[in-house]
Chains A and B, each alone.
Chain A
Amino acid sequence: MTLLAADGGPACYVFTINDWICGDYYRDRWRELWDASVEHLWITAAAVVLGLLLAIPVALLARRLPRFEGLVLGATTIIYTVPSLAMFSLLVPFTFLTPRTVIIGLALYSLTILVRQILAGLRSVPDEVREAAAGLGYSSLRMLARIELPLALPVIMAGLRVATVSTVALTTVGSIVGYGGLGNLLASGVDTDFKAQILAASVLCVLLAVVLDLGLLGVQRVLTPWARARSS
């Protein structure tokens, strides 16, 4: 049985034809592309959210303890230099062959960008503003939540956007433990010279990155209405 195209000839993605752009491929495999995109999206999202949850307290601690800061920034940078193939292999004995391996690995990578950017954001809050808030009797937690984080938000969001886009790309490497989203299709496509699949997975990866980036930009605009008011 040979897979047939709509017009009755062989499908344009068979090895002997192997078109880069092939309607039969999208028709026959859209389900696979959709599932891979969904997996890619949730692994990326889980990794970035986990990275953010780790980065905020680490950045706060680094700000509080200057000696700790150099250590933290050094450590996150060293983590970033661990090749992703090695990172996942190192995590497997603890997290097994589950999506956890990929999510934790990618979250650790995102720390490099997020911790620095959260620190930079908090530092961008003017001292006068902080002193005024203290004068009004703001507790430290309330000051963080109501004054510092909102003012640091544009800088933090810029870091979050970079971290998200880079995580979309890195998620593909998760295919070595079987959870790489579109990376699974890319890897098997490269192995078998499956051009339509390689191109489709690559384009979807880029689309995913663009959509997430625009989405975060939208979130930032909603969260910082004052910035919009000023610029318009």
Chain B
Amino acid sequence: MTGTRLNVRTILGTMLAAGALLTAGACGGDDGSAPSPGGDSDPTETTEPGASETTDSAEKGTVAMSGQDFTEMQIMAEMYRQVLEGAGYTVDVNLVGTRDLYIKGLGNGQIDLVPEYLAGIADQLNGDKPFTTNDTQEALSAVEPLASDAGITMLEPSEATDQNAFFVTQDYAESNDVTALSDVAGVGDSVTLAAAPDCEGRGDCEGGLTEVYGIDIERILPTGFGTQQTKDAVLEDEAQLGLSGTTDASLDELGLVLLEDDKGIQPAQNLIPAVNSDFLTENPDVEALLNELSGTLTTDDLAGLNAQVDIERQKAADVAEAYLSEKDLI
């Protein structure tokens, strides 16, 4: 029966052909919106003498931007994009699920620019060992050598910061005369905390509340970071304290108030542009453009922008554009 069966060589030949198709097909499927995977397939690239071949090195060329995919970063990415496009760059944005998906690419030039949180990227570059400083300048000088080793340059941090923050109901705040976290310990009762499941023991979460503020936490409801369930738990008094962020836009609307972190347990999570170092050397004007934006943005601005997207459901691009034109940045 051997004559009626395909021989191995024919099949292997077919597999090779399929493999070739795979490569060709996959490249064909790579539409223009993808960040340049290594500079090799980017038609807009022109090679400058001495330029790194792994970045989009064309003068006013293409900027491959990534970042994390949630409301605040969508807005930041849109603002960066519009500011750079206003200066003549072409910008490809691809936001992804987690930081570790782009951090290597940012170091080796597959990605040129990422909107970041100062302590967030610092922890990542530090091998997930958290820095705990509450001071922006201290955090920046701690992260700069690590970033520079990784091929990343940190630009100017914005005053705007998105830190863990704890909220109570307006009723609780008024009846117990509470405005800051240190007031909660004075109320005396043990509290239930609605928070992310990883909150327990962390210095910026349950650990800090217990050890630094002396709050007696009876138990933690694992309802998530700033989720609707966390807010509902506090509103329905299943928990007295809930975890969210300083730029959470929906708290006001719901009758919840943020408490001040008066003993500074939160690391400095200022919004900051992280740029591939080679890219910045070739495109030095990017620094001034993004620093001007960072210098303008405040935490309140950011909370307001988040509200426009999360509460009013406007699009991040429209919200960013309105803000930038109001501040004369585009």
Contacts and interface: CB of A to CB of B under 8 A. Distances in A.
Contacts of B4: 130-131, 133-134, 138, 140, 143
A176 B14 contact: no
A16 B96 contact: no
Contact of A192 (B14, B71, B101, B104): B71
Interface stretch (A51-59, A111-119, A154-162, A209-217): A51-59
Interface string B178-189: 000000000000
Contacts, number: 143
Interface string A153-179: 000000000000000000000011111
B101 A57 contact: no
B11 A64 contact: yes
Contact of A177 (B25, B96, B250, B310): B96
Interface string A76-115: 0000000001000100110111111001100000000000
Contacts of A138: 4
Given A1-B314, A2-B312, A133-B4, A104 B10 contact: no
B100 interface: yes
Nearest to A139: B3
Given A15-B310, A96-B35, A100-B29, A57 B96 contact: no
Interface residues of B, number: 52
Interface of A: 1-3, 10-11, 13-16, 42, 46, 49-50, 53-54, 56-58, 60-61, 63-65, 85, 89, 92-93, 95-100, 103-104, 130-131, 133-134, 138, 140-141, 143-144, 175-179, 184, 187-188, 191-194
Interface of B: 1, 3-8, 10-12, 14-15, 18, 21-22, 25-27, 29-31, 34-35, 37-38, 66, 69-71, 74, 94-98, 100-102, 104-105, 110-111, 228, 250, 253, 309-314, 322
